[in-house]
Every structure is written in C-alpha cells, then in structure tokens.
Amino acid sequence: MTSSPAIRVRGVVKRYGATEVLTGIDLDAPRGEVTCLLGPSGSGKSTLLRCIAFLEETSDGLIEIDGEPLGYGPGSNGGRVRLPPASIRAVRSNIGMCFQQFNLWPHMTALGNVSEALVTVRKFSRGEAEARAMAELEKVGLAKRATHYPSELSGGQQQRVAIARALALEPKIMLFDEPTSSLDPELTGEVLNVMRRLAETGMTMVVVTHEIGFAASVGSKIVFLDHGKILVEGSPTQVFGKPRHARIDQFLDTYLDRGAAGLL
C-alpha cells in the first residue's frame, strides 16, 4: 500500500452533456510531493481537481486516494460501481481543500471557521477545538486575527484562514484550486509562502495555479493540461526546460510579464 501514489487517477472522463471536459486522464500524485496542474483556462485543470475531491462526479474512470477508491470502485465485467456515502466520507476525510474564493463561512470568526468541523465532525469540546484552531491560525500567522470575521480580513488573510481550516482536520493530502487567482498581486506572496512552508513539511499537495514561478520552484511534478488532456508532464526542468513543447512556449509567453521569464 505504501508504494501506491497518494492520488491515482485512471481513465477519468468528465462530460457536461455532449462536451467532454476531461477526455481520459491518467495521473499519479506522488506522496509527500507537490504536483502542479497548469494550463490555459478551460483546459479542465480545475475540473480535474474537483473530480479528485469528488465535488464533481466523474463520467467514467477511477480515482484512488491513498490506495482507496473514492466515489466509484472497480466493478465486475470491467465497469465501475458507485460506493456507499460512508465510504466516500471516509476516503474524503484524507483530503483538505482550498478554493479560489476562500469560501469561509461569513457568519463565523476566523476561529469559528477553523474550529467548526472539529466540533461538529470530530466531536471535540468547544474548548479543545478552539485551542487546536488557535494553534493552526498561529501556523499561518493569524493568531492575532482569530476573532475577526472574514469581511474584516484581506483576501490573503482569508485564504490563510481557509488553509488553517483545512489543516485543522489533519488531512494527508491538500488540494488547492487556484488559491491566489482572486488575490491582488501584493497579497499572493503571503499565501504562496504559507503553501511553500507546508510543502517543506512533506505534505502531499496538488495545486491548480497560474503562478508559474511557484510551480517551477516548489512543484516537483508539473502537469500541463490542454483541451481536457494531459499534454506534458514531468519535473519542472523537463516541462519548462528547452527544448519545450510549442504549446507550453505559447502559454509561457502570456506569463512573461509575471516574472516567469527570469525563472526559466
């Protein structure tokens, strides 16, 4: 079991009506490493991440988290079978997720957001939950903002609270769906720093991002999607180094003004 990747995606297809958004994805996210999903908008990278979190139903294919099937398991005669909700909950409890829009609950303070699931799901007492939540906020540098409501925090601070909220539940895998895309440029740094530190602790991470610099320096595996397919995958040097795929060249051109040129 330890030899299996943290996430194994096999033959995943996602259709919306007649449109195929993902056209048969095979992907392994290695344990303890940062896998970055890149690609132009509409390439299916966020959809893939949401399928891995089972926030989207896949139309076909299988996803394993830590060796356990999520959502669908292999059935007889080569098909797949829907797994019971309890199994989905159990497997998904290994995954933490951060969203582009942070999705903090607006009627709860930072502390309330981080401690909520500890109380309702993990059955901690209010006091234990808040102590744990406080420790998590400390890690993202926001202990002093614990009593603030989301509307009183900057975007970067909100995303850091969201990261603390996910980490409080001690996931084995963290998924990030464009965590800095709705932030002002000067706020992305603080979020990327928290993520960089998290990566250093050996957390398995899958990050959908447009931050090429982050992907190149923190990612150990780069997966480039285009039109619902994996176009190129490999180490940052393999993907970004020369000679490189013409499509990636074209994609990077649009990011040169973000300082990616110097890194590559």
Partner 1 sequence: MTWELFELLLVASIKTVALSGLSIVLGFFLAAGVCAGMLSQNVAARRAGRLFVSFFRGTPLLVQLLLIYHLLPRVGIDVPSEVAAVIGMSLCTAAYQAEILRGGFGSVPKGLLEAADMCGIGAFDTFRRIRLPIAVRLTLPALTSELIMILKASSLVSVVGVIELTRMAQDLAASTFLPLPLYAAAGLIYLVINAVIASIGAIVERRVARGHA
Binding residues vs partner 1 (CB under 8 A): 53, 55, 89, 92-93, 95-97, 99, 101, 103-109, 116-117, 120-121, 149-152, 162, 165-166, 169
Please state the closest distance from residue 55 (CB atom) to partner 1, in A. Answer: 6
Q: In the complex with partner 1, which residue's Cβ is closer, 104 or 223?
A: 104
DSSP designation for 148: -
The tokens for 222 are 């780069």
Alpha-carbon distance of 138 to 98, in angstroms, equals 18
Q: In the complex with partner 1, which residue's Cβ is closer, 149 or 255?
A: 149
Render the burial of 165-180: b for 16+ CB within 10 Å, e for the rest.
bbbbbebebbbbbbbb
Please state the closest distance from residue 102 (CB atom) to partner 1, in A. Answer: 8
Please state the closest distance from residue 43 (CB atom) to partner 1, in A. Answer: 21
Nearest 5°: CA angle at 216, between 103 and 36? 45
Please state the closest distance from residue 256 (CB atom) to partner 1, in A. Answer: 32
Alpha-carbon distance of 175 to 178, in angstroms, equals 10
Q: In the complex with partner 1, which residue's Cβ is closer, 133 or 260?
A: 133
Q: In the complex with partner 1, which residue's Cβ is closer, 79 or 106?
A: 106
Q: In the complex with partner 1, which residue's Cβ is closer, 14 or 165?
A: 165
Phi-psi region at 125: left, alpha or beta (left = phi > 0; alpha = psi -120 to 50): beta
Distances (CA, A) of 245 to 73, 124, 163, 253, 262: 35, 51, 34, 13, 19
Alpha-carbon distance of 95 to 92, in angstroms, equals 5
Q: In the complex with partner 1, which residue's Cβ is closer, 3 or 151?
A: 151
Query: Other CB atoms closer than 10 Å to residue 80's CB: what's the count?
Result: 16
Please state the closest distance from residue 119 (CB atom) to partner 1, in A. Answer: 9
For residues 95 and 203, is the Cβ–Cβ distance under 8 A? no
Partners of 16 in the beta sheet?
A: 19
Helix residue ranges, H only, 42-125: 45-52, 85-92, 110-120
Q: In the complex with partner 1, which residue's Cβ is closer, 145 or 248?
A: 145
Please state the closest distance from residue 110 (CB atom) to partner 1, in A. Answer: 11
Please state the closest distance from residue 18 (CB atom) to partner 1, in A. Answer: 24
